[in-house]
A and B are shown apart, each in its own frame.
Chain A
Amino acid sequence: MITVGIDVGSITTKAVVLRDGKIIAEKIAPTGYQPQAAAEMVFAEVLSAAMLPADDVTTVVATGYGRSRVSFAGRSVTEISCHAAGANFLSPAVRSVIDIGGQDSKALVMDATGRVKDFAMNDKCAAGTGRFLEVMAGALGVGLDAFGPISLTSEAPAVISSLCTVFAESEVISLISKGARRRDIIAGIHAAVAARVVAMAVRIGLTPPVMMTGGVAKNIGVVKAIEARIGSSVIVSAKAQLTGAIGAALIAARPGSSQGSGIRSQGSEEP
């Protein structure tokens, strides 16, 4: 069986082709302003990379913030369910996922089959998201990509206690003016993000092994800070960015999936 998962994120759209449980092609491209167009284009490109015609595809499942815009998808499924399935594929022992994206952060716990048992989301508040890190990078005049490596050299992370991004920025500025070392401030910022996100995760019973997904997983400083907070190591897959699309493709292959018990995408036909 051949299925495709499409993850329409706010910055990038990802697609994965799965044949009999194996990834045979993957594609990432910017989403731009038109999620539908981005989805169509990435779908076409990934099929081309797999050297398959669209007719060979049994089911397409769309996920991500733009999931309801993918008219050709059979179903749309939330990123939560998809990240669980995807994480399970990438590392079957994983039981929890922490996903820190640009605008939100999520935590989920799952069973051995990759199904979600419980989840929590922070989608109201910038603190504990990629946006928080962007704001701080601006305040420090340091490129965001450098955050991870610089923070690892700190031996005494600063304490940033504000729960609000704007106030935390004030704290950072205050630390700068008091002459605190950049590495310590950045380490402190990472600790603050970790504190926020882990607090959310603990509420749903975070269980190791933990995997991190989402753009912020590329920041080694945040990963280490989360590891320090939970007291166990965190898995980051090389395919972290594709986790949602992989999960979507897997869910598309689940029996009963084509029955359409989830939301119908806009524009698709009623049974």
Chain B
Amino acid sequence: MNTEPKPIDPEKEKRKIKAVGRMKEIMTGYYIEAKTAEQSGKKIAWITSGGPVEPLIAMDVIPVYPENHGAMIGAAKMGSDLCEKAEAMGYSRDLCSYARADIACAPINGGPIGGLPKPDMLVCCNNICGTVLKWYQVQARHFRVPLFIFDTPFCHTEFSAEARRYVRRQVDEYVAFLEGVCARKIDLERMHQVGRLSLAGQRLWQAVLDTSMHKPAPMSAFDAFFHLALIVTLRGTQTVVDYYTALLAEMKERIENRISAVPKETYRLLWDNLPIWYRTRWMSDKLAAHEACLVADTYTSAWCGTMKYIDENDFLGSMAEAYSRIYLNIGVDEMAQNVIAMIDKYAADGIVMHSNRSCKPYSFGQYDIRKIIQQQRDVPVLLIEADMVDERSFAESQIDTRIDAFMEMLK
């Protein structure tokens, strides 16, 4: 075997995003802090990806995301093994693979980082799905820690006055819950600050994603999947604002220097649903070989999609609507209009929809969304059936063929 170091390809080097190193640093530091929280005396909260993290930040509680852990498990290709373990515990194979993997991890400290630090509390917001309710109930029974459920009624066609009142009351209940677990009052001044930082972070994230409107796109959805981590996990901190400020600057620089995500971008595609975490590289290379770039996606844009509902000067008061109106908590027809708006905004030539076995709210309705898109925009849609974390549900040669056939259609 050849033991010489691989020669550096200057083209590839140029194309690499420099901020990646900083992200890895920040996330490593974040996980270390979380895993050593016992020493610092900080409390740990497990929270859902769509959950209101800002009050946690304001109260110096470290937020930990089992879903982010799920993505890491997928990327580390540890998903099928952990899902199998969950099945041995009695959990049906048809359940969400994030949940199965996390439930299997907890008793054995499995996964790529030796397990998540034990929570002092669980915060579950069901704006993304009903599965998180069940998942967090399981973990509440397992860890025997307090569980807060932030119940955001589904907005099929509206955010009703009744729902608004209900969710607003729960914001107060949430704060009271945190004050109880932490045994101290929230600092409203700090909360105000965190709210402003959250909004600033979201604006920056949107600006970063918007750079892909440029032809060619300086970054792809695969890059977005990676750089997403901070806006999800540490929204409301200065770290996030600093990071995306730098990332935005780098994207603008790339545009100036004509550095694109895909060397020859001929086809611009939109991605729908969660990533296939254990095949992002494979898919990225495959599409790039077809001169296709995933210029935008509905998943990463979900963390800056409801800014318009937030009142910067009253974050706590206005967050009810923002958290209730996220992309997965609205009707299928409204989702279709959002996708059409993205097609126009990013000048997409086609859509790739991941029919994700693990995510029913995201996947059911895709067929109707596809129909609406094809009626209103006449843009071809490729459907890929897989799972975000459980590799056993990924049939490579079938999907390979589908992608090829789709690209042939576009050419």
Q: Do chains A and B touch in the complex (CB under 8 A)?
A: yes
Give A contacts to B, CB under 8 Å: 161-164, 167, 170-171, 173-174, 195, 199, 202-203
Contacts of B392 in A (CB 8 A): 161-163
Enumerate 29 A-B pairs (CB-CB under 8 Å) in ascending A order. Answer: A161-B80, A161-B391, A161-B392, A161-B394, A162-B392, A162-B395, A163-B93, A163-B392, A163-B393, A164-B395, A167-B395, A167-B398, A170-B395, A170-B397, A170-B398, A171-B395, A171-B396, A171-B397, A173-B397, A174-B396, A174-B397, A195-B84, A199-B84, A199-B87, A199-B88, A202-B88, A203-B87, A203-B88, A203-B90
Contacts of A162 in B (CB 8 A): 392, 395
Give B contacts to A, CB under 8 Å: 80, 84, 87-88, 90, 93, 391-398
Contacts of A195 in B (CB 8 A): 84
Shortest 10 CB-CB contacts between residues of A and residues of B: A202-B88, A167-B395, A163-B392, A161-B392, A170-B397, A174-B397, A161-B391, A203-B88, A199-B84, A199-B87
What's the least CB distance linking A210 to chain B, in Å? Answer: 16
Contacts of B87 in A (CB 8 A): 199, 203
What's the least CB distance linking A108 to chain B, in Å? Answer: 16
What's the least CB distance linking A268 to chain B, in Å? Answer: 39
Alpha-carbon distance between A202 and B397 when the two chains are bound, in angstroms: 31
What's the least CB distance linking A124 to chain B, in Å? Answer: 12
Alpha-carbon distance between A163 and B386 when the two chains are bound, in angstroms: 12
What's the least CB distance linking A94 to chain B, in Å? Answer: 21
Alpha-carbon distance between A161 and B396 when the two chains are bound, in angstroms: 11
Contacts of B84 in A (CB 8 A): 195, 199
A-B contact count (CB 8 A): 29
Alpha-carbon distance between A202 and B89 when the two chains are bound, in angstroms: 8
Alpha-carbon distance between A46 and B88 when the two chains are bound, in angstroms: 42
What's the least CB distance linking A196 to chain B, in Å? Answer: 10
Contacts of A199 in B (CB 8 A): 84, 87-88
Alpha-carbon distance between A221 and B395 when the two chains are bound, in angstroms: 25
Alpha-carbon distance between A9 and B85 when the two chains are bound, in angstroms: 33
Contacts of B394 in A (CB 8 A): 161
Alpha-carbon distance between A234 and B284 when the two chains are bound, in angstroms: 45
Alpha-carbon distance between A202 and B90 when the two chains are bound, in angstroms: 9
Closest partner residue, chain B, to A195 (CB atom): B84
In this complex, the member of B80, B392, B398 whose beta carbon has the largest number of chain A beta carbons within 10 angstroms is: B392
Closest partner residue, chain A, to B89 (CB atom): A203
Apart from A170-B397, A203-B87, what are 7 other A-B pairs with CB-CB below 8 Å? Answer: A164-B395, A170-B395, A171-B396, A171-B397, A174-B396, A199-B88, A203-B88
Contacts of A161 in B (CB 8 A): 80, 391-392, 394
Contacts of A202 in B (CB 8 A): 88
What's the least CB distance linking B384 to chain A, in Å? Answer: 14
Alpha-carbon distance between A162 and B396 when the two chains are bound, in angstroms: 10
Contacts of A163 in B (CB 8 A): 93, 392-393
Alpha-carbon distance between A164 and B84 when the two chains are bound, in angstroms: 15
Alpha-carbon distance between A161 and B392 when the two chains are bound, in angstroms: 5
Contacts of B88 in A (CB 8 A): 199, 202-203
Contacts of B93 in A (CB 8 A): 163
What's the least CB distance linking B111 to chain A, in Å? Answer: 19
Contacts of A167 in B (CB 8 A): 395, 398
What's the least CB distance linking B86 to chain A, in Å? Answer: 11
Alpha-carbon distance between A171 and B393 when the two chains are bound, in angstroms: 12
Closest partner residue, chain A, to B88 (CB atom): A202
Closest partner residue, chain B, to A166 (CB atom): B395
Closest partner residue, chain B, to A168 (CB atom): B395
In this complex, the member of B80, B88, B93 whose beta carbon has the largest number of chain A beta carbons within 10 angstroms is: B88
Closest partner residue, chain B, to A161 (CB atom): B392
Alpha-carbon distance between A173 and B396 when the two chains are bound, in angstroms: 12
Alpha-carbon distance between A199 and B395 when the two chains are bound, in angstroms: 21
What's the least CB distance linking A238 to chain B, in Å? Answer: 32
What's the least CB distance linking B367 to chain A, in Å? Answer: 21
Contacts of A203 in B (CB 8 A): 87-88, 90
Closest partner residue, chain A, to B401 (CB atom): A170
Alpha-carbon distance between A170 and B400 when the two chains are bound, in angstroms: 12
What's the least CB distance linking A170 to chain B, in Å? Answer: 5
Alpha-carbon distance between A4 and B5 when the two chains are bound, in angstroms: 73
Alpha-carbon distance between A199 and B84 when the two chains are bound, in angstroms: 7
What's the least CB distance linking B179 to chain A, in Å? Answer: 42
What's the least CB distance linking B296 to chain A, in Å? Answer: 31
Contacts of B90 in A (CB 8 A): 203
Contacts of A171 in B (CB 8 A): 395-397
Alpha-carbon distance between A203 and B88 when the two chains are bound, in angstroms: 5
Contacts of B393 in A (CB 8 A): 163
Alpha-carbon distance between A174 and B399 when the two chains are bound, in angstroms: 13
Alpha-carbon distance between A195 and B93 when the two chains are bound, in angstroms: 14
Alpha-carbon distance between A161 and B397 when the two chains are bound, in angstroms: 13
Contacts of A173 in B (CB 8 A): 397
What's the least CB distance linking A168 to chain B, in Å? Answer: 9
What's the least CB distance linking A135 to chain B, in Å? Answer: 15
What's the least CB distance linking A173 to chain B, in Å? Answer: 8
Alpha-carbon distance between A170 and B397 when the two chains are bound, in angstroms: 7
Alpha-carbon distance between A210 and B395 when the two chains are bound, in angstroms: 33
Contacts of A174 in B (CB 8 A): 396-397
Alpha-carbon distance between A163 and B393 when the two chains are bound, in angstroms: 7
What's the least CB distance linking A224 to chain B, in Å? Answer: 20
Alpha-carbon distance between A164 and B390 when the two chains are bound, in angstroms: 14
Contacts of A164 in B (CB 8 A): 395
Closest partner residue, chain B, to A164 (CB atom): B395
Alpha-carbon distance between A56 and B394 when the two chains are bound, in angstroms: 59
In this complex, the member of B394, B395, B396, B398 whose beta carbon has the largest number of chain A beta carbons within 10 angstroms is: B395
Alpha-carbon distance between A164 and B396 when the two chains are bound, in angstroms: 13
Contacts of B397 in A (CB 8 A): 170-171, 173-174
Contacts of A170 in B (CB 8 A): 395, 397-398
Contacts of B391 in A (CB 8 A): 161
